[in-house]
Structure 1
Amino acid sequence: MFLSNVRQDLKTYKGDWTAQGFWAMLVYRLGRWRYGIRFRIIRLPFSLLYKVLFKMVQIFCGIQMPCEAPVGRNFRIDHFGNIIISGYASFGDNCVVRNGVTVGIKNVEEKKAPSIGNNVDIGAGAKILGNITIGNNVFIGANAVVITDVPDDCLAVGVPAKIKYRRN
């Protein structure tokens, strides 16, 4: 499973193994894979490796993508830098995240983050916060602040984000 996910991620990045988004996904996949190791004594070295690599990606690439946040296939970090994703968030298939994006909790007391559907394109600088659901085929505009649910086939733009239905 680990290698097939990495191959798919590399395909998503068009074979560019130097893309920092790919590095983040590689470390993410390692973190998810290690949970499948049953025996703690065997899992420990992989956990240590994951934590070191996670910190390196965080420092050198500016991407915080914890392995606790489930992501679907073809997840792509288009531009690196200042990307923070909560471990409580979840993503569907074919999602794109750009630089400066935060997907996280709204209140410290409420440990819930957005659930993001399939085919979601998140513009640079967008903030998606709280226990909300982002539907399928949604575009989040650059610098939008999304704190309410967004239905399928919509645009979310502005501060706070206004929801607009997309035309065909």
Structure 2
Amino acid sequence: MFDNIRQDLQTYQGDWGCQGFWVMVVYRFGRWRYGLKPLIIRKIFSFLYKFCFKLIQIITGIELPCEVPVGRNFRIDHFGDIIISGYASFGDDCVLRNGVTVGLKNVDITAAPRIGNRVNIGAGAKILGPITIGDNVDIGANTVVLSDVPDNSIAVGIPARIISKKRKKQFVFR
């Protein structure tokens, strides 16, 4: 747990005051408690986790359940209004900004997005349903993603329009 927290602090450039870092500390504590034995000790720490989780959720406006697998260098860049389903998953080097929702599209289907490595999610983006977001993807601000996004792409608009990063436009400045 402490090695992960040290890595998280490096991800936040040593800034203890970042609300995203606070969320990660509670998240790491929540995952760590699963390995505790005996059961009575785990239950005590589970109660403490649930209290801290709710407190952090109220203070920061960020909901990141400990059931969500996240990769290395996971960063919540801005504070507030971030909801992540317990069924979602994230790869390495992902960045989320304020107003992001990653969750279920339909409450009858308990499957949420699988986010790849090096995914940059803009403010206000909504990523919903049992979809896969590939590696090296940028999701624009306020984009609503309801279908898979392939590797090396940009998703923009409502609903999301997929643009390949390999297709480069040349701009002429005059």
Q: Secondary structure at the residue paired with 2:26? A: helix
* AA matched with 1:126: A
- What residue in structure 2 maps to residue 157 of structure 1? 156
- What residue in structure 2 maps to residue 95 of structure 1? 94
Q: How far apart are residue 127 of structure 1 and its match?
A: 0.1
C-alpha distance in 1, partners of 2:34/2:155?
35
Q: Secondary structure at the residue paired with 1:155? A: strand
Q: Secondary structure at the residue paired with 1:25? A: helix
Q: How far apart are residue 45 of structure 1 and its match?
A: 1.6
**1:76 and 2:89 aligned:** no
C-alpha distance in 1, partners of 2:73/2:3?
12
* AA matched with 1:22: F
Q: How far apart are residue 44 of structure 1 and its match?
A: 1.3
C-alpha distance in 1, partners of 2:87/2:58?
21
Say which one has the larger Rg: 2
Please list, as runs of the form range in 1=range in 2, the aligned pairs for 1:6-155 lying within 5 A after superposition: 6-155=5-154
Q: Secondary structure at the residue paired with 1:8? A: helix
Q: How far apart are residue 134 of structure 1 and its match?
A: 0.2
* AA matched with 2:132: T
**Deviation string, structure 1 residues 66-89 (Cα, Å, up to 9, x no partner):** 000100010000001000000000
Q: How far apart are residue 55 of structure 1 and its match?
A: 0.4
Q: Secondary structure at the residue paired with 1:142? A: coil
Q: Secondary structure at the residue paired with 2:163? A: strand
* AA matched with 1:135: G
C-alpha distance in 1, partners of 2:128/2:66?
19
Structure 2 unmatched ranges of 5 or more: 169-174
Q: How far apart are residue 38 of structure 1 and its match?
A: 3.0
Structure 1 unmatched ranges of 5 or more: none
Q: How far apart are residue 37 of structure 1 and its match?
A: 1.1
For normalisation by structure 2, the TM-score amounts to 0.95
For normalisation by structure 1, the TM-score amounts to 0.98
Q: How many residues in Structure 1 have an aligned counterpart in Structure 2? A: 167
**What stretches of structure 1 move > 2 A for 4+ residues in a row?**
none
C-alpha distance in 2, partners of 1:127/1:145?
5
